[in-house]
């Protein structure tokens, strides 16, 4: 007897048949319910432990009486503000329901069935999902030291390649590419191939005090009309729950993305809050400093336990652990949610988001206890 699941599975497009859904991590409430723990902490989704700017929360309240109305589809005020900040024209800004919406718009606008989309092994999990969802062909380039191998990626790009994704820094590994290497890559790629530089962790990465030449690739938009730079309000700006991000690109590319974009894809509260958050530099700085200190705390603490985290430029750290499944289970029982198996092929790794000083300490203490048990 044919069951309903296989009836529809066989009718889905081949790319979708092979897909595994994105793993969003265990919600706090689910952990507390299933494990009977209280005061659980979540270090699993690279969220900002300080929470949003108080100014953003205030303007959201003011916006509530207008909720019967559709938002401004043109996103006029937010685009104008972002354009000023980045020194580009408003026509070069595309707003998205999270920056993952922009990544998806790029693939849907450019990559048809069977057409190549290039990204790295261990890169952001959404790249293969959005590629396969439209039947485009994923071209996964082996990583080098867990990071993007730009020379190998350039070699994998052909005149037919439609889109290339570069996550800088990358999630889940925290690895990055420096300015000179990224520029060389952009120069090597044919000018008709769209290159997306995904800078979801830009605000953390640019702040490094380690002498790393982390590039703000938006300054190259004038030279490379095929460049799309994506940013988000979900990470350093602490507005993940509202879903707002944006892309910066040539106006001709923006025009195409806007044709595919669903109307009103950014909700009214998200736009208002983002506008206020952009202006609250003090709050942003505070979060960035908490992260810089917390990243060192986690990195050093892990090394003292004999672990070897991958050096990270983001707000999380990723490390191999002898028995990652057992470690994850012990962490859950202690009320600490991290991300096990953060990428296919990284089965024995944990990814841990930087929390507050006390949250980081709790993660380290649980890991230390684990080692004590042998």
Ligand X SMILES: *Cc1c(COP(=O)(O)O)cnc(C)c1O
Residues in touch with ligand X (CB under 6 A): 46, 98-100, 124, 167, 171, 198, 200, 232, 234-235, 240, 245
Shortest distance in whole angstroms from residue 240 CB to ligand X: 6
Q: Which is nearer to ligand X, 148 or 362 (CB)?
A: 148
- CA atoms in the 13 A half-sphere facing the CB of 335: 12
**Residue nearest ligand X, CB atom distance:** 98
Q: Which two tokens stand for residue 4?
A: 């309903």
Give the integer Cα–Cα distance in Å for 10 and 351.
Answer: 35
Supply the angle between the helices 126-133 and 99-110 in degrees, to the nearest 10.
Answer: 40
> In the bound complex, what is the minimum distance in angstroms from residue 235's beta carbon to ligand X?
6
State how far the alpha carbon of 19 is from the alpha carbons of 22, 45, 142, 242, in Å.
9, 21, 20, 26
Q: Cβ contacts of residue 290 below 8 Å, gap of 6+? A: 49, 50, 354, 356
> Closest distance between ligand X and the C-beta of residue 34, in Å?
25
Segments of the chain assigned E as strands? 41-42, 93-96, 116-120, 137-141, 163-167, 194-198, 227-232, 245-248, 316-320, 336-337, 339-340, 349-353
Q: Which tokens hold the place of 165?
A: 């994704």
Nearer to ligand X, 132 or 370 (CB): 132
Closer residue to ligand X, CB minimum distance, 231 or 362: 231
Nearer to ligand X, 171 or 226 (CB): 171
Tally Cβ neighbours within 10 Å of residue 12: 11
Using DSSP's 3-state secondary structure scheme, residue 231 falls into strand
Name the minimum Å distance from CB 100 to ligand X. 3
Minimum distance from residue 119 beta carbon to ligand X (Å): 11
Q: How far is the CB of 105 from ligand X (least distance, A)?
A: 12
Which is closer to ligand X, CB of 98 or CB of 311?
98
The Cα–Cα gap between 317 and 367 comes to 14
- Shortest Å, Cβ 153 to ligand X: 16
- Which residue lies nearer to ligand X by CB, 309 or 335? 309
Q: Can you say how many angstroms the Cα of residue 244 is from the centroid of all Cα atoms in its chain? A: 12
User: Per residue in 64-84, is it b (16+ CB within 10 Å) or e — as a string?
Assistant: eeeeeeebeeebeebbebbbe
d(CA 26, CA 145): 28
* CA distance linking residue 120 with residue 306, whole number of Å: 28
> Cβ closer to ligand X: 206 or 240?
240
Please state the closest distance from residue 288 (CB atom) to ligand X, in A.
16
Identity of the residue, 173 or 272, whose beta carbon is nearer to ligand X in the bound complex: 173
């Amino acid at each position: 007897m044919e069951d309903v699941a296989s009836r529809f599975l066989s009718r889905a497009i081949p790319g979708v048949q092979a897909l595994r859904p994105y793993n969003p991590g265990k919600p706090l409430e689910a952990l507390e319910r299933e494990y009977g723990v209280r005061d659980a902490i979540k270090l699993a989704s690279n969220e900002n432990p300080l929470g949003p700017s108080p100014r953003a929360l205030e303007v959201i309240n003011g916006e509530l009486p207008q909720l019967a109305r559709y938002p401004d589809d043109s996103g006029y005020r937010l685009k104008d503000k972002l354009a000023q900040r980045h020194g580009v024209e408003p026509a070069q800004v595309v707003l998205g329901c999270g920056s993952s919406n922009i990544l998806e718009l790029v693939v849907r606008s450019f990559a048809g069935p069977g057409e190549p989309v290039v990204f790295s092994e261990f890169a952001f999990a959404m790249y293969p999902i959005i590629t396969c969802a439209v039947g485009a062909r994923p071209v996964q380039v082996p990583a080098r030291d867990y990071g993007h191998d730009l020379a190998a990626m350039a070699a994998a790009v052909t005149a037919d390649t439609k889109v290339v994704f570069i996550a800088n820094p990358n999630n889940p590994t925290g690895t990055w590419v420096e300015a000179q290497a990224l520029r060389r890559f952009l120069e090597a790629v044919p000018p008709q191939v769209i290159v997306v530089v995904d800078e979801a962790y830009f605000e953390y990465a640019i702040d490094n005090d380690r002498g790393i030449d982390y590039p703000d690739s938006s300054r190259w938009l004038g030279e490379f009309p095929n460049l799309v730079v994506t940013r988000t309000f979900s990470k350093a700006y602490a507005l993940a729950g509202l879903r707002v991000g944006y892309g910066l690109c040539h106006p001709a590319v923006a025009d195409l993305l806007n044709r595919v974009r669903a109307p009103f894809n950014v909700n009214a509260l998200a736009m208002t809050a983002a506008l206020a958050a952009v202006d609250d530099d003090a709050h942003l700085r505070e979060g960035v400093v908490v992260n810089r200190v917390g990243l060192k705390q986690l990195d050093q603490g892990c090394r003292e336990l004999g672990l070897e985290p991958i050096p990270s430029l983001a707000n999380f750290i990723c490390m191999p652990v002898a028995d990652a499944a057992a470690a994850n289970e012990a962490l859950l029982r202690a009320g600490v949610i991290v991300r096990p198996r953060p990428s296919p092929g990284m089965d024995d790794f944990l990814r841990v988001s930087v929390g507050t000083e006390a949250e980081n300490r709790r993660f380290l203490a649980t890991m230390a206890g684990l080692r004590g048990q042998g």
